[in-house]
């Protein structure tokens, strides 16, 4: 049997797509961001959620999880926020997985399903990072300062991704 079988082609394609979306998520988080003067760590608004949601909606829950976990986790490590990296890996990986799962399993008009997935991902982000900040800062009040930034960040990504994800999925096949 030839070493270049359809299975190896599919595996290679999957690896390349996953790697691209990890890189897109890292780059959008690192280079397309704005630091806001808000207490806590809620002052960083970035577009890393755009490729994360595109990965989840177009290529599925696994690609969404990998893009989020590794893309944003690497951002934390590279940016010197190493203590945040394990939390980010879990929180954002879960966001990508759940958003992709909702997109795959929930029937209905795609725009509404994608919007629902973004809202659920937002809840995961707010709750996850709230408790992360409680752990890292030892304070139950300060983490509320991060909530507006998290809402804005995910809402902007949703506004960008929800209208185009269905069309992009048709193009990709």
Give pLDDT tens digits for 17-65.
999 999 999 999 999 888 777 655 556 789 999 999 999 999 999 999 9
Residue 150: half-sphere exposure toward Cβ, Cα within 13 Å: 27
Q: What is the pLDDT of residues 70-126, one digit of tens each?
A: 999 999 999 999 999 999 999 999 999 999 999 999 999 999 999 999 999 999 999
DSSP assignment of 84-100: GHHHHHHHHHHHHHHHH
Q: Report pTM.
A: 0.91
Q: Give the residue among 16, 33, 66, 7 at the shortest CA–CA distance from 149.
A: 33
Distance, in Å, from the CA atom of 136 to the CA atom of 132, rounded to the nearest integer, reads 6
Q: What is the pLDDT of residue 10?
A: 79
Distance, in Å, from the CA atom of 95 to the CA atom of 72, rounded to the nearest integer, reads 12
Domains in the chain, CATH or no CATH each:
6-172 (1.10.1760.20)
Q: Give the residue among 49, 43, 34, 22 at the shortest CA–CA distance from 118.
A: 49
Distance, in Å, from the CA atom of 103 to the CA atom of 43, rounded to the nearest integer, reads 29
- Name the pLDDT band for 5 (thresholds 50, 70, 90): low
Q: What is the pLDDT of residues 123-168, one digit of tens each?
A: 999 999 999 999 999 999 989 988 988 999 999 999 999 999 999 9
């Amino acid at each position: 049997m030839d070493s270049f079988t359809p299975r190896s082609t599919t595996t290679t394609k999957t690896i390349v797509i996953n790697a691209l979306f990890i890189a897109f998520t890292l780059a959008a988080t690192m280079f397309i961001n704005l630091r806001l003067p808000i207490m806590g760590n809620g002052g960083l608004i970035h577009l890393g959620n755009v490729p994360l949601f595109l990965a989840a909606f177009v290529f599925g829950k696994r690609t969404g999880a990998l893009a989020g976990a590794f893309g944003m986790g690497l951002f934390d490590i590279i940016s010197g926020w190493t203590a945040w990296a394990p939390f980010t890996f879990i929180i954002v990986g879960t966001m990508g997985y759940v958003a992709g799962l909702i997109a795959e399993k929930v029937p209905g008009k795609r725009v509404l399903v994608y919007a629902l997935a973004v809202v659920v991902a937002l809840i995961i982000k707010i709750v996850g990072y709230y408790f992360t900040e409680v752990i890292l800062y030892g304070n139950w009040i300060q983490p509320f300062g991060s909530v507006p930034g998290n809402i804005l960040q995910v809402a902007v990504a949703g506004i960008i991704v929800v209208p185009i994800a269905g069309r992009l999925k048709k193009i990709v096949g």
